[in-house]
Amino acid sequence: MQPQKSIERGVATEAAPGITRIDVDAVSSKASRSLYTSRQKIYPKLAHGTFRSVKWVVMLVTLGIYYLLPWIRWDRGPTLPDQAFLLDFANQRLYFGPIEIWAQELYFITGILVISALALFLVTALAGRMWCGYACPQTVWTDLMVVVERFWQGDRNARMRLDKAPWTFEKIWKKTATHVSWILISLATGGVLVFYFRDAPTLAMELVTGEAPLVAYVFMGIFTFSTYLLGGIAREQVCIYMCPWPRIQAAMYDSESLLVSYHGYRGEPRGPHKKGQPWENRGDCIDCKACVAVCPMGIDIRDGQQLECIQCALCIDACDDIMGKVDRPYGLISYDTFRNVEAPSGSERAPVRLLRPRVLVYSGLIALIMALMAWAWIVRSVVEISVIPDRNPLFVVLSDGGVRNGYTIKVLNKTHETRTFQLRIEGLSDFHAAIIGFDTADAPLVVEPDTLRAIKVYVSVPREAASHLDAAATPLTLTVRDLASGDTVVRETTFRSPGS
């Protein structure tokens, strides 16, 4: 502990003999800042206009896709699931309509994720956080929850009044109705998510009759709870404090990116305006705060770009509405570039430059990866062969002086029909081959649909020929031919011997 004297500062003034004034602040006082702040509730007002309409459409389309996708059917034959969009983890398959991805082809998913990330970069470079403002699930569900809230409790002013009002019967039922609706929406959200992982109609029945697997109920519970908590209650707190994107995306704009911006050069000095008053020597902003009232993030766009802004453009709708009423041109708040926003008043607005290096680089990368994936998809084989030579021991010397090598050959038939193959071995002048369990090495090899068959092949070279193998590893070619289609898969391996 420090003695009090050491924190005395400044010149002590004498009020009375023996009494000095100490220049010190209390650690805990009304003026002291808290380490934590309580959340200030935001009451977004309903906006009307172009961007609000766009958001309604995006909400309808994205929620529509989400809720309906698991119910679309796709006939794949009798033994396979007929759900168009199914993540079948139990059988390690992903089904997307005609596309079927096996566990070992998961790189296609990686490709999709890389493209998604690059697309996000591209959109951000072009027009800021469009993803956040329009399509992010957090935005869409929060918007939906606000719609419900508005339905039961009314718009901004009514909601504020209701929150301040004492707990009357009216307040209780309105709040209850709101939360019950939210929970029902959340339940539907969590419920639909599990349908993506199991046949939807079957699982729906199981969920109702209580026969669904425990994991389905657990995940339904988790997603129901998180939808209710994040979309209904936490809302903008998720974007500000939980989501990493605001931090990253802000680094991806440049002076040419289109961002929701307030034109200070046109709006300032702001102030109230009465009908009939002249507009000379003042800005167009009448300080009505309509832009603040509609903002779901609770910010004032006139303060400039800030981390909290999700670029949803509702403030543009609100401001344009007001500009129309006071008979001033639209676009006091609009999508614009830093370059134009910072340009001096009265100077010409520069046209938007879309073709910039970073836009071209992102587009180029997206095109490249899409091309790579398309190529990989075209050359992808429906039959996969892997040859694993025995490594321990590398070779076996037989009693007659010959040398034997063992190979495990795995044939994976990814089609939904039974296929028959034939093995051919080339590269050695004199050898004998045998497949365990088969009479001859060229016997037809039947592989059932959707299955992997592993066979063990032994290749022996007699003494005389073995002594002529000049190298410790002689190249060996194994060819597997589909007897019906004639397609062949060739694998190179080696035949090992002690050498001479």
Partner 1 sequence: MAGHKEYDAATGAETTGHVWDGDIKELNKPLPKWWLYVLYATIVWSIGYWILYPAWPLAEDYTRGMLGYSQRSVVAQEISDAKQTQAPFLQAVASKSVEEIRSDAGLMEFVRRGGAAQFANNCAPCHGSGAQGFKGYPNLNDDDWLWGGSVESIENTIRFGVRSDHASTHQGVMPRFGLDGLLDKGQISDVAEFVLSLSGKSEDAEKAERGSVVFAEQCAACHGADGKGIVEMGAPNLADAIWLYGGRKQDVVESVHGGRAGMMPAWEGRIDPTAIRMLAIYVHSLGGGE
Angle between helices 156-164 and 137-153 (to 10 degrees): 70
Name the residue nearer to partner 1 (CB basis): 287 or 303.
303
Name the residue nearer to partner 1 (CB basis): 348 or 400.
400
Name the residue nearer to partner 1 (CB basis): 101 or 445.
445
State how far the Cα of 341 lies from the Cα of 358, in Å rounded to an integer: 21
Q: Could you tell me which residues come within 8 angstroms of residue 405 by beta carbon, excluding any fewer than 6 positions away?
A: 389, 390, 394, 395, 396, 458, 459, 460, 495, 496
CB of 282 to partner 1, least distance (A): 22
Name the residue nearer to partner 1 (CB basis): 41 or 161.
41
CB of 162 to partner 1, least distance (A): 22
State how far the Cα of 240 lies from the Cα of 129, in Å rounded to an integer: 13
CB of 304 to partner 1, least distance (A): 9
Residue 364, number of CB atoms within 10 A of its CB: 11
State how far the Cα of 142 lies from the Cα of 136, in Å rounded to an integer: 10
Are the beta carbons of 31 and 47 closer than 8 angstroms? no
Q: Burial of 454 by CB count in 10 Å (0-12 exposed, 13-18 middle, 19+ buried)?
A: exposed
Are the beta carbons of 237 and 39 closer than 8 angstroms? yes
Name the residue nearer to partner 1 (CB basis): 39 or 380.
39
State how far the Cα of 426 lies from the Cα of 478, in Å rounded to an integer: 6
CB of 460 to partner 1, least distance (A): 9
Name the residue nearer to partner 1 (CB basis): 277 or 399.
399
CB of 461 to partner 1, least distance (A): 13
The residues that touch partner 1, with contacts defined as CB under 8 A, are 23, 25, 31, 33-39, 234, 237, 241, 303, 390-393, 396-402, 404, 406, 436, 458, 463
State how far the Cα of 204 lies from the Cα of 201, in Å rounded to an integer: 5
CB of 311 to partner 1, least distance (A): 19
Name the residue nearer to partner 1 (CB basis): 34 or 79.
34
CB of 23 to partner 1, least distance (A): 7
Are the beta carbons of 301 and 262 closer than 8 angstroms? yes
